[in-house]
Amino acid sequence: MSIITLCTDFGTVDGYAASMKGVILGINPSANIVDITHEIPRQGISFAAFVLNGYYRYFPKGTIHIVVVDPGVGGQRYDMVVKTEDYVFVGPDNGVFSYIFMKQSVLCYKINIEAVVSNTFHGRDVFAPAAAKLSLKWDRAILGRQIKRPVMINIPESVVDINSVTGEIIHIDRFGNLITNISSDMISDKKILTVEVKKIKINNMKKAYEQNKESMPGALINSFGMLEIAVSSDSACDKLGAHIGDKVRVLWR
Amino acid sequence: MSIITLCTDFGTVDGYAASMKGVILGINPSANIVDITHEIPRQGISFAAFVLNGYYRYFPKGTIHIVVVDPGVGGQRYDMVVKTEDYVFVGPDNGVFSYIFMKQSVLCYKINIEAVVSNTFHGRDVFAPAAAKLSLKWDRAILGRQIKRPVMINIPESVVDINSVTGEIIHIDRFGNLITNISSDMISDKKILTVEVKKIKINNMKKAYEQNKESMPGALINSFGMLEIAVSSDSACDKLGAHIGDKVRVLWR
Amino acid sequence: MSIITLCTDFGTVDGYAASMKGVILGINPSANIVDITHEIPRQGISFAAFVLNGYYRYFPKGTIHIVVVDPGVGGQRYDMVVKTEDYVFVGPDNGVFSYIFMKQSVLCYKINIEAVVSNTFHGRDVFAPAAAKLSLKWDRAILGRQIKRPVMINIPESVVDINSVTGEIIHIDRFGNLITNISSDMISDKKILTVEVKKIKINNMKKAYEQNKESMPGALINSFGMLEIAVSSDSACDKLGAHIGDKVRVLWR
């Protein structure tokens, strides 16, 4: 049974994601469609890129990941299939796959769909049928010419100095946890003095959320290996008035 | 594997939709349950009717579509199964299937469920078991007498004049796009002069969302073949202060 | 095909629930993952406990129910598997399974996961793999020592008097219906005089929502066999300004 995951900004209520599921099952009735989310903020390309990077690798090899956040649908951007060693990604060439490109070698192809398609809903008319067909077999006929330079969004990188690293908040999750672009390998062997964010200084690293008993902001390495600012049983985002892009600095001895 | 789709106004958080899934899998463990949405606005019968009309036809023949938006549960309205050539629909006889009736011949039946059922949750006690049983085989025993005149909601129709057509906004989607009841076949061969909505005049038709570079409202034929007013990367609904029911007029030469 | 249900407070948008699905399918590719909800209010342990009690029994015997509402992740609380005659439950030992314990004999075990796990995401690193492995076979190797006294949350009980019962609102659903802890067997053989809530007196019991034609609050026995206050096509919660914990009293002759 082939697994096809769906990540979109369609919501569920208008039936757009539903149509995609119908199209997939019409082509491959035994496809195992897995809802990731349909609640990506409207047209949030970089948001989707970040979220995809968090879940894709947990699926079995061979999984096909569809991502549709597509403000440019019907315009110049390409419909794209991305092939890595372990996975296939299907969606618009607008940067949603940027994190995938950073970490591994990929092959990117334009999608050939011969049927008449709408100009406003390639999720249903291009990405769903392409993914469903590829879940049946790796058919080069639906792949067009290679895309040599797929679109990359700007992914902010943290900057390491002699006794500090400066990064920023790149995602805020449902719990109000502030996820940074400072990875554990940058700081795990250091004797941390302070983590600075929004003029607050956090003086020691925690291991888990619950340890922040005092409802003070704490810093920890999260489940994706990134530095995260959290408040136990509360929203660090609300507490600190934080936003994506706010600077975070870690100092060590 | 039989496909059973679920469209409700239950939300997910109270566990109502969950109970329906449990009941279905208890009767047909190999049913492929597909979530359409559980976020139909509370008791939004006409909303659900419109959304259903957008997705049902994309599913494979034989799919069973459950729709539960049911303010009259436990009252006089019938529990109903609707059979078309290609699909089966299961839900209350309150108008949620109105669009289905308009386009094809249907057979409508009352549902016979012998078990004791609640007066407040026919989704779990009637529609889920009826659909699950019908997914195993088309068993007339669970169908009661025919319903000759199922309930129809009022579906507003557009009015064609010699050089214009006047319709209205019938749905506003998550992106704030304004979907009208003016279909492409009414206007596709015309030389459009203006599209009027909320005292705004739109002077030319677009092909895709992205072409509205100026963040001005644009008109296009959407993926369902209907006239739609959209603003590129913004909400036409917010921008125009539009509501369902607002008039839209298309003039041609 | 094994059924594994998922009930969390993760939302869908951050990809946390998605990672759990990937992990499960990586271990048991034929698992039938059923989304219950990911919208439990953040860290709402008692909310999840109540909702679970509403749906779990509708699933086929052998179903594995995962519940992850886990503010104490990484702290002292245990990772737990609960075995009843018909079902398996997997989640933190923090009270989310309290209703399960009240009604049947259970065996509770600590989970043995040998792999390195994060301190912040046991949903992905402990509960998902444990459930997936147990869906393949009941393997005692992943179960540690028994937990003799699992954590119970305080579940308010109604108090029966000679001609009345006093309970409280224990859940408010999406429709604004007020669900109480007064069960039908406490009152079904009584001649009800009034139901009192928020200084309102309701004078007779309804059978179904629709009967409350006047948009006045009505009382009925709901689909879970509990007394519920509802307003036809409106929110009793908004209308009465009700909250969880508000007292409800039923008087009879």
Q: Which of residues 13-42 of C touch B (CB under 8 A)?
A: 32, 34-41
Shortest distance between the Cα of A213 and any Cα of chain C, in A, equals 11
Mean pLDDT of chain B: 94
Two structure tokens written together for C88? 């398996």
- Tell me: the pLDDT tens digits for B100-109? 999 889 999 9
Torsion of CA A211, A216, A217, A220, to 10 degrees: -10
Flag whether residue B1 sits within 8 Å of chain C, measured between CB atoms: no
Helix axes C16-27, A45-55, angle to 10 degrees: 30
> In chain B, whose CA is at the least distance from the CA of C50?
B14
- In a mutational test of the B interface, the residue from C65, C209, C232, C234 whose CB has the highest number of chain B CBs within 10 Å is C209
Contacts of B28 (CB under 8 A, 6+ apart): B2, B132, B133, B135, B136
Flag whether residue C54 sits within 8 Å of chain B, measured between CB atoms: yes
Of the candidates A14, A43, A74, the beta carbon closest to that of B233 is on A43
Cα separation values, C14 from A39, A43, C10, C11, C61, Å: 9, 15, 8, 7, 32
- Tell me: the pLDDT tens digits for A87-98? 999 999 999 999
Of the candidates A58, A171, A207, the beta carbon closest to that of C119 is on A207
C-beta neighbour count of A71 within 10 angstroms? 19
> In chain A, whose CA is at the least distance from the CA of C28?
A60
* Look-up of token digits 């088309």: B138
pLDDT for C211 equals: 67
CA distance A127 to A114: 13
pLDDT for A35 equals: 98
Average pLDDT over residues B20-46: 97
The ipTM estimated for the assembled molecules is 0.95
pLDDT for B212 equals: 61
Contacts of A137 (CB under 8 A, 6+ apart): none
Q: B123 near B8, Cβ under 8 Å?
A: yes
Residues of chain B contacting C174 with CB distance shorter than 8 Å: 9-11, 13-14, 42
Of the candidates B1, B222, B223, the beta carbon closest to that of A29 is on B1
**What is the DSSP-derived secondary structure letter of residue A194?**
E
Shortest distance between the Cα of C78 and any Cα of chain B, in A, equals 25
CB–CB contact C71 A39 (8 Å): no
- Tell me: the pLDDT tens digits for A118-152? 889 999 999 999 999 999 999 999 999 999 999 99
Two structure tokens written together for B111? 């549902």
Residues of chain A contacting C73 with CB distance shorter than 8 Å: 208-210
pLDDT for B115 equals: 77
Flag whether residue C79 sits within 8 Å of chain A, measured between CB atoms: no
Cα separation values, B83 from B8, B97, C48, Å: 20, 11, 38
**One-letter amino acid for residue B158 of the chain:** S
Beta bridge partners of C247: C168
Residue A56 binned pLDDT confidence (cut-offs 50, 70, 90):
very high
CB–CB contact B208 A23 (8 Å): no
pLDDT above 90 covers a percentage of chain A that reads 83
The answer to whether residue C166 scores a pLDDT higher than 80 is: yes
Flag whether residue B238 sits within 8 Å of chain A, measured between CB atoms: no
CB–CB contact A71 B210 (8 Å): yes
Shortest distance between the Cα of C28 and any Cα of chain A, in A, equals 10
The answer to whether residue B244 scores a pLDDT higher than 80 is: yes
pLDDT for B131 equals: 98
Give, for B225, the enclosing helix (H) or strand (E): none
Two structure tokens written together for B219? 């008109």
Flag whether residue B65 sits within 8 Å of chain C, measured between CB atoms: no
Flag whether residue B202 sits within 8 Å of chain C, measured between CB atoms: no
Residue C212 binned pLDDT confidence (cut-offs 50, 70, 90):
low
Contacts of B82 (CB under 8 A, 6+ apart): B88, B89, B90, B97, B100, B101, B106, B107, B108, B109, B150
Residue A2 burial (10 A CB sphere; 0-12, 13-18, 19+): buried
Residue A1 binned pLDDT confidence (cut-offs 50, 70, 90):
low
Q: C204 near C195, Cβ under 8 Å?
A: no
CA distance B197 to B201: 7
Residue A74 binned pLDDT confidence (cut-offs 50, 70, 90):
confident
CB–CB contact A210 C72 (8 Å): yes
